[in-house]
Amino acid sequence: MRRSRAIALGMALTVVVAACGRDEEPAATTTSAGSTQTTAPAVPGLAEGGFGDLGVVCGPAPEGTENTASDVGVTADSIQVSTVSDPGFAGRPGLNQEMFDTAEAFADWCNEQGGINGRTLDLELRDAALTLFQQQMIDACEQGDFMTVGGGAVFDDTGQEDRLACGLPNIAGYVVTATAAEADLTVQPIPNPASSLPIGDLLYLQEQFPDSVDKIGVLTGNLPTTVTVAERYKEGIAQLGWEVVYDDEYPAAGVEDWRPFAEGLKSKGVEALIWVGEPVNLGKLLTTAQAVDYELQWIRTDANHYDPKLTDEAGAAADNTFVRSVFAPFLEGTAEAGSASEQYNQLIDQYKPGGVKAYLGVQALSSWLLFATAARDCGADLTRDCVFEKTTATTSWSGGGLHAPVDLSGDTGPACFNLFQVVDGEFTLAEIGATDGIYNCDDGNLATLTGDYGTGARCPNPAYADDPKPSNCAEA
């Protein structure tokens, strides 16, 4: 179900973020002079089952509540959920390991607090290892997962029909292809529809480096999924009037020598690079470019590159790499004290010591929080229908303060963004003319795309079109 169809059919539920303690009257205190003043109740922290500004997310069942086995994967005492990603990919061992680490940390933390309304999370980690995504979706259906949460895989265009055939909802950490992004029974904490492209960062780069936009290079891994992402960017920059003078693909499984790519960019006079890939490969390219005495004015890449792997690999050779983001800083020493970002770090440190901290891990955490707050508010009668309806009707979601508020009820991506820039080998926030805290939320930050980048997978049961909910998606 595309979210606009949900709205048209009148789904008006919202995710309620108030929990016990949030609705209490402010406490009254008496001063030494005898006067009284009110103080707001303390916001519950991780030790109280709270996260960010969401109130209590995990805890025991409310007094008098009797849970039942209310749906697939749900018993009176537990909820079976899964996370799917690619850490077992032989070409890049540990690819997106942060998504598994976040899932484990969140589940262990939540269960320690008492679970979601007294139901503990029974977590299944399903490793797609790049090429096994479809099999993992089949396994999730056959083994009775309630939902799949906080995952993401490169070949997510496979397995969608299998997932929908059993009515399995996906609260994704990220998606790549339109087949997955536009699929029925899919919710993203940061929507990424094929029909729109965030360009606020490109407008900023155009203003800062006006001489570079006639000499653009585009370089992406040679996977169909990443090539499609690059094609979307090329349509967006064409709308801006930029000229691409270099367009190439590299072997996604790995490159022994990046020199031919660095020399190719240099020979074409490329001044700025749009890169689609992952941080280690970009770091190797930039280190090689430095070795051949070649320097780009800027490199623009996606949020998964806000990752120490990039700067560890390239150091100052990565200077003027710009990473578009909608999240607050969270890397070591950058998270604001008392913030949701700091709580993310605390969660990993305490419940997954040594776990990978990276952008996609934070995005996965937003997915888990979206799932958990919706499941919490569904109460004892926990069903796929209830959780899905609550999440898809959410008009302002920030993951408790992890990122800019995002409307999950529509069919567009987020207009708000910030921009991380590598300076002297370290990430810093670029001065982008913020309009809302650290984010720029101008109306012109989204471009409409007209290219054919694929369509979403559809539920097989015709009844779903008349009553779009998980229970009407599976084959009759």
Is residue 30 over pLDDT 70?
A: no
Of the candidates 259, 296, 256, the one whose C-alpha atom is nearest the C-alpha of residue 275 is 296
Mean pLDDT, residues 77-81: 98
pLDDT confidence of residue 476 = 62
Query: Minimum mean pLDDT among 90-94, 138-142, 429-433: which range?
Result: 90-94
**Are 200 and 260 within 8 A, CB to CB?**
no
- The continuous run of DSSP H or E covering 370 comes out as helix 359-378
pTM for the complete prediction? 0.85
Q: Dihedral sign for Cα 230, 231, 236, 237, please.
A: positive
Is residue 22 over pLDDT 50?
A: no
CA distance linking residue 377 with residue 390, whole number of Å? 9
Of the candidates 236, 74, 83, 243, the one whose C-alpha atom is nearest the C-alpha of residue 151 is 83
What domains are defined for the chain?
3-24+70-190+333-412 (3.40.50.2300), 197-325+415-448 (3.40.50.2300)
CA distance linking residue 95 with residue 100, whole number of Å? 10
Distance set, CA 184 to CA 169, 224, 240 (Å):
8, 22, 32
Is residue 347 over pLDDT 90?
A: yes
Q: Dihedral sign for Cα 363, 46, 333, 355, please.
A: negative
Q: For residue range 286-307, what is the model confidence (pLDDT) as tens digits? A: 999 999 999 999 999 998 899 8
Query: Minimum mean pLDDT among 24-28, 195-199, 365-369: which range?
Result: 24-28
Start-to-end Cα distance in the chain: 17
CA distance linking residue 94 with residue 158, whole number of Å? 21
- The count of C-alpha atoms lying within 13 angstroms of the C-alpha of 68, restricted to the half-sphere facing its C-beta, is 4
pLDDT confidence of residue 176 = 84
Q: For residue range 420-445, what is the model confidence (pLDDT) as tens digits? A: 999 999 999 999 999 999 999 998 99
- Helices vs. strands in the chain: H and E counts, helices first: 14, 16
Q: Which two tokens stand for residue 434?
A: 């913020």
Residue 411 pLDDT class (50, 70, 90 cuts): confident
249: helix, strand or coil: strand
Angle between helices 279-291 and 259-267 in degrees, nearest 10: 60
Mean pLDDT, residues 251-264: 92
pLDDT confidence of residue 332 = 81
**Are 272 and 297 within 8 A, CB to CB?**
yes
